[in-house]
Amino acid sequence: MENLKLAWRNLWRNKRRTLITVASVFFAVFFALSMRSLQLGSYDVMFKNIIESYTGYVQVQHNDFWDDKTIDNLIKFTPELEAAILEDKNVNETVMKIESFALASSGPQSKGVLVMGIDPLKEKYVSDIESKLIKYILSEEAIKGLKRENIPEELKEQLDIFNNSAYSTTARLQLDLGIDDEDFPELIPLFDKHASFESGYLESGKQQVVVGYKVAQYLHLELGDTLILIGQGYHGVSAAGKFEITGVVKMPSPDIDSRVVYIPVDIAQEFYDCPDMLTSLALQVNDNDDEAIYETVSRLTEKLGDDYAVLGWQKMNELMVQQMEADNQQGYIMIIILYMVIAFGIFGTVLMMTAERRREFGVLVSIGMQKTKLAIIVTYEMMMMGLLGILSGVAAGIPLIWWGLDHPIRFSGEMAKVYEDMGFEPIMAFQPFDTYFYNQAMIVFLIVLVAMSYPVRKISKLDVIEALRA
C-alpha cells in the first residue's frame, strides 16, 4: 500500500509528463474503439439489409434450386412438410416464397426484374415488406413546395442534397435531414402536405404488385398504373399477366431496390402455372445468432433428409460474406498499423520519462532505496497512467458510440454512388457494445505493460555514478 501511495504522489510531481503519457494511452483507446465499432457496425448493417430484405436467415429449398435458380426446381408445399419444420425449437413460422425472373414493362420502357411471390400476411416475419412501403418522396415538386414554407435555411440546403430520396419512416427522414426533435413536430405537417406518398399493400388473390423505388423510377411508374410481366413458367409454359401497381417500397439494399417486384404468392403460382409449389420456405427463427442458425440448419437437414436443401444465411450470401471477410482482414491490418503507431507513441513517451528521471533514480538508489523497490514503484506508476488513459479513453468512447447508434454516418453525392454501385446502402453505423469493446482496451493495456519493461530494465542496470552525473 505504501508503494502505491508513493507511486500516486510521483505521478503528480510532474503533471505535464504524466498528462502526456496518459494522453497517448487515451487517444490509443479512443481511436481503437471508435474505428472498430464503426467497422463492425457497418458490416452488421450490410448483412442485416441483405438478410432481412431478401433471403431471411434460413430457407428450405429444392436440392438444385440454389445452384440452378430456375422455376422448374420447386418443392411441393404440404401440411406435413410445414409441421415437420415447425417442430424445430428455433422455428416460429414458415413463409412461402416463389422467386423467379420476368420482363417488366409499362409503356415504351422495359426492365428485367426479380419477381418475388410472397404471402402478404406472413411476410412480416421475414422481410416485413409492408413496413418498407414509401411514405414520403422528396421529388423536385415536393422540395419546391417545402421551400415556399417557413422552414430553416439549413433544411432547405439538406433538401437539395436528398433530392428524389424516398422514405418509409419519419425517423429516417428526420435523421437524413438533420431535423432536431424539438422542431420535427412543427415540420412534419409540411412534409405530409408536400411530400407524402400513399402506398398500398398486397392482397391475396388479386392481380397486384408492389415494386422497388428504383424500378418505379426507371419505368416511370405511379400508383394505379398497369405493369405487364412476361416470363417463363413451370416446365416451359408461357407466363404473362397484367398487374395493378398498389405500392412502392424502399429497400435498404440498392441492388434489390433496383430490380424487385412483389406479387401475392397465390397469384405467382397461377402466373408461373405451379399450383401448390414453391421455390423456398423462409423460416422465422427465435435466435438468429450464428451458432443458433448453424444448429438449426443441421437439425432440419437431418430431419428432412435428402429431398430438401436447408440453407443458412451464410450459405445464401457467400459472396457478400467473402467480401466482408476480405474487408475485415483489411480492417485488421489498419488496426494493427494503429496499434504499432500507438506502441511507438507510448514507448517514446516512456523513453522520454525514463531519460528525464535518470538523475532522480540515481539519487534515490544512492540514499539507500533498493532497486527492486524503485522498479516496483515505477511499475505502479506506469500501470496507473495506463489505467487512467484507458478509463478516460473508454469514458470518451462510450458517448460517441452511444450517439452513433442513433446517428449513423450517411454518405451523399459521389461516395453514396460508390456504395450503391457495390450494392450496399450508403451508410456507416456503429456497433453496440460487445466483446470488441473490451478487447481494444486489453490490447492497449498489454502495450503499456510491454513498454513498462523498459524503465524496469533501466533501473535494474542503473549505474549510480553515471546517473548522478546526468
Cα-based torsion angle of the residue sequence 53, 286, 67, 215 in order, rounded to the nearest 10 degrees: -10
Per-residue pLDDT of the chain (470 residues; tens, 9 = 90+): 677 777 777 777 777 877 887 887 888 788 888 888 887 787 777 777 777 667 788 899 988 888 888 888 899 988 888 899 999 898 888 999 999 999 999 878 899 999 999 999 988 888 888 888 999 999 999 999 999 988 888 888 888 888 888 998 887 788 778 888 788 888 899 999 999 998 999 999 999 999 999 999 999 999 999 999 999 988 888 899 999 999 999 987 778 888 999 999 999 999 999 998 999 998 988 888 878 888 998 999 888 888 888 988 888 877 767 766 776 677 777 778 877 877 887 787 778 777 777 787 777 777 777 777 777 787 887 888 888 888 888 888 888 888 877 777 777 655 665 565 555 667 777 877 777 777 777 887 888 888 878 777 877 777 777 766 65
Which amino acid, residue 65?
F
Instruction: Catalogue the long-range contacts made by 363-369 (C-beta closer than 8 Å, 24 or more residues apart).
Output: 363/467, 363/468, 365/462, 365/464, 365/467, 366/464, 366/468
Cα-based torsion angle of the residue sequence 312, 313, 318, 324 in order, rounded to the nearest 10 degrees: -140
- Do residues 311 and 66 make contact, with C-beta atoms less than 8 angstroms apart? yes
The sign of the torsion formed by the CA atoms of 453, 454, 456, 457 equals positive
- Do residues 97 and 116 make contact, with C-beta atoms less than 8 angstroms apart? yes
Q: Give the integer Cα–Cα distance in Å for 452 and 441.
A: 16
Q: Give the integer Cα–Cα distance in Å for 318 and 366.
A: 68
All three cell numbers of 355: 531519460
